[in-house]
């Protein structure tokens, strides 16, 4: 196995062996280390990390006790394969439930509401999914599937509220599948126009009118009978590392020589918003270091900053919170779901629309900072 991406902090209050164990858990959870893979020997890993072999031994032993690793004499230390025996699976499931119950009880006793916990859970889960997602394969063409009665094809802008909606939908409707492609707001409307999508998520600001979505919808989908359903209003701003060490305060700072920016892809609503603001404020994009370094989701941008690979990016507050970043609010925008009126009135879309209008969904989203659900579920017909 190649060298593992483990970084130790000697100034941290967390013991070194626990830091190693936790980072190994993360590498396994994100499948950078796969089930069945053989880990470096204790001696080899201790040399890689410049620590005492006993420290690595203690880390491995902790993960063995958690039934994540398995060691055999003469066979080295391996990640447990996925096809572990059923009694071990049952034991692990029981341990997981006990751990979650303890955390839930502890959080409730500290005054958090069930909606607080649910929002935090979904944010954390989406961050882990983003770590596992291969951006290289997330193109519109790769995600388009043959039309099926029980599949809803969604193309458009990445949004955490939309992800939460789809998670709730999967829980409530077992026989309905969703296929999601993060192709940006403009890509979503084009996919809808070309009938490669059943629904598009969009938040496009029109330069001439200052209005969100409707001018673009009328230009790209003229004469189509559409339903525009508001998912939420949300806050866009600058995501920066904890404590804002580079003292970034506004868009002017993006052109500083000591600042590395990370951007969204062309056609995304966030990119349209950024380019419009740069033009309005007279800031040349050529002076922004990292302007052409792009990702397809808010979480990918936030994760890039959290890893220390960039200093700042434009994104939504929920993504910044999920990755432990500070957030400088700047813009309020409208995020809509666009679909043919026939889909809006269909039985296939009814469960999704029911969830959007439910108090449960709105309560969870309200607990995710950076969203306003006061108009969530309202529908406007076009034309």
| Cα→Cα distances 267→34, 243, 251, 286, 350, Å | 35, 31, 20, 18, 29
Instruction: Locate 106 and state its tokens.
Output: 């502890």
Distance CA 54, CA 36 (A): 24
Gyration radius of the chain over CA positions: 23
SS3 state of residue 372: strand
CB 339, CB 224: distance < 8 Å: no
pLDDT of res. 145: 41
Span(s) in the chain for CATH 1.10.10.10? 16-79
Q: Which helix (H) or strand (E) element contains residue 117?
A: helix 114-132
Contact 54, 89 (CB under 8 A): no
Q: Is the peptide bond before 174 cis (omega within 30 degrees of 0)?
A: no
Nearest 5°: the CA angle 260, 261, 262 is 130
What is the per-residue pLDDT for 133? Answer: 53
Closest CA to 312 of 233, 250, 234, 235: 250
Label residue 182 exposed, middle or buried (CB < 10 Å: 0-12, 13-18, 19+): buried
Q: Compute how many other C-beta atoms are within 10 angstroms of the C-beta atom of residue 310.
A: 23
Tokens 């029911």 belong to residue: 354
CATH class, 135-382 region: alpha beta
pLDDT for the residue numbered 332:
94
Confidence (pLDDT) at 144: 41
pTM of the entire predicted model = 0.64
Q: What is the DSSP letter of 254?
A: G
CATH 3.40.190.290 region(s) of the chain? 135-382
- Give the C-alpha separation, 235 to 258, whole Å: 26
Per-residue pLDDT of the chain (383 residues; tens, 9 = 90+): 557 889 888 888 889 999 999 889 888 877 788 888 889 988 889 998 999 989 999 999 888 888 888 887 666 888 887 654 344 455 566 667 777 777 888 788 788 888 777 777 777 776 666 665 544 344 434 434 444 458 899 999 989 899 899 989 988 888 889 999 988 899 999 999 999 999 999 999 998 899 999 999 999 999 999 999 999 999 999 999 999 999 999 999 999 999 999 999 998 999 999 999 999 999 999 999 999 999 988 989 999 999 899 999 999 998 998 888 999 999 999 999 999 999 999 999 999 999 999 999 999 998 888 899 999 999 999 98
Strands 226-240 and 199-202: unpaired
Kindly report the CATH number that applies to the domain delimited by 16-79. Answer: 1.10.10.10
Report the pLDDT value the prediction gives residue 91, as an integer from 0 to 100. Answer: 58
* CA angle, residues 371, 375, 377, in degrees to nearest 5: 105
Contact 226, 345 (CB under 8 A): no
Closest alpha carbon to 316 in 252, 253, 365: 365
């Amino acid at each position: 196995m190649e060298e593992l991406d483990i970084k130790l902090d000697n100034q941290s209050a967390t013991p070194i062996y626990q830091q190693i164990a936790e980072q190994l858990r993360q590498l396994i959870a994100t499948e950078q280390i796969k089930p069945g893979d053989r880990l470096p020997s204790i001696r080899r890993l201790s040399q890689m990390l410049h620590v005492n072999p006993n420290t690595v031994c203690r880390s491995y032993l902790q993960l063995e006790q958690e039934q994540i690793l398995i060691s055999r004499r003469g066979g080295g230390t391996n990640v447990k394969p996925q096809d572990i025996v059923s009694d071990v699976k049952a034991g692990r499931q029981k341990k997981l439930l006990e751990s979650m119950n303890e955390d839930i009880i502890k959080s409730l006793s500290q005054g958090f509401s069930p909606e607080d916990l649910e929002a935090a859970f979904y944010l954390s889960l989406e961050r882990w999914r983003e770590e596992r997602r291969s951006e290289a394969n997330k193109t519109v063409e790769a995600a388009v599937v043959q039309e099926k009665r029980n599949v809803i094809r969604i193309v458009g802008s990445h949004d955490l509220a939309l992800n939460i909606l789809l998670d709730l939908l999967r829980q409530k409707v077992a026989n309905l599948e969703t296929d999601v492609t993060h192709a940006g707001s403009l890509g979503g409307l084009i996919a809808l126009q070309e009938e490669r999508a059943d629904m598009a998520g969009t938040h496009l600001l029109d330069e001439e009118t200052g209005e969100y979505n409707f001018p673009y919808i009328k230009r790209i989908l003229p004469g189509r009978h559409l339903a525009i359903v508001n998912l939420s209003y949300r806050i866009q701003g600058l995501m920066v590392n904890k404590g804002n060490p580079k003292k970034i305060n506004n868009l002017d700072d993006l052109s500083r020589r000591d600042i590395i920016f990370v951007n969204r892809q062309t056609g995304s609503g966030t990119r349209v918003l950024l380019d419009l603001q740069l033009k309005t404020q007279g800031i040349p994009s050529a002076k922004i270091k990292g302007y052409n370094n792009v990702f397809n989701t808010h979480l990918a941008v936030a994760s890039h900053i959290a890893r220390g690979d960039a200093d700042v990016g434009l994104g939504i507050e929920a993504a910044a919170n999920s990755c432990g970043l500070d957030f400088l609010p700047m813009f309020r925008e409208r995020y809509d779901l666009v679909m043919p009126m026939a889909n809006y009135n269909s039985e296939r879309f009814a469960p999704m629309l029911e969830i959007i209008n439910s108090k449960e969904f709105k309560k969870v989203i309200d607990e995710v900072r950076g969203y306003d659900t006061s108009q969530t579920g309202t529908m406007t017909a076009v034309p």
